[in-house]
Structure formats: structure tokens, C-alpha cells
Structure 1
Amino acid sequence: MIRKLLLRGAALGAVALIRRAMRQRSRREVRDAGPSQMRNPPGTWDRVDEASDESFPASDPPANY
């Protein structure tokens, strides 16, 4: 009986931790693409930089690759 209660409590605790992590992850701010949206923009900026910045953090390559 006690073992079942401990397992149930551990499972509920794990679910609570997962939900908390998901809420925190959804609150992260994501900046728009382009050097004008950067805190410290680079000195030069070309089409490759633009395509790379627009595709991040996606795993797919840019459409004009």
C-alpha cells in the first residue's frame, strides 16, 4: 500500500515538473530575423546570413538553398 502511494506521488511530481518546464519554455522570447533586430549587429550582412538567420532554429535548410 505504501509502495503504491510512493509511486503515485513520484509520478505526480514528475508530471508537475514536466508541466512547469513546458510553461517556462513557452515564455522564451524569440527575436525577429535580420540585423536590425540584433543587439550587436554584424558589420556585414549578405543573403547567406539572411537565409541562415531566418531559418534558425528550424532544422530545415532555407528555401532558396
Structure 2
Amino acid sequence: MKQKYQIDGIGCGGCVTKVKETLEKHPAIENTEIFLNPIGATFITMNKTLTVAELQKQLNILKWYTITEIN
């Protein structure tokens, strides 16, 4: 299942790499695509639906990033 999110706090390619690697460490996340244009737009492919709170908990490893779902 592929869902669209907005990740705030991303400002460069290094941020994209760190966030992608951190999210993909979660066993339910198969793939993460993060864009710089529009900045922070994200598609996450999961094998099990995760809540925004669960995704945020995974991101909290890095600090400074917040995730919201886009419908």
C-alpha cells in the first residue's frame, strides 16, 4: 500500500537520505520516496498500514522532522 505524506524539516539531499534510511529500518516499510520539489513530499510503501503516530515515532530517532498524512 502506497500513501502520501508531508515531512517538515527536510531542506537538502542529506536530509532526504537520513529520513529515507531511518523510515526504511521499520519492518513494515518497503520503500520511501522523498522529494525536494515540492519540498518534503513523500510516498511511503508499506506491507502493513502504519498510523502517522507510528511513523512519527520512527522519525523521532532523528529529531527535527514531523510527518503528516496528505489525502
Q: TM-score, normalised by structure 1?
A: 0.24
Question: Which one has a bigger Cα radius of gyration?
Answer: 1
Between Structure 1 and Structure 2, which shows a larger proportion of strand residues?
A: 2
RCO comparison, higher one (Cα < 8 Å, 6+): 2
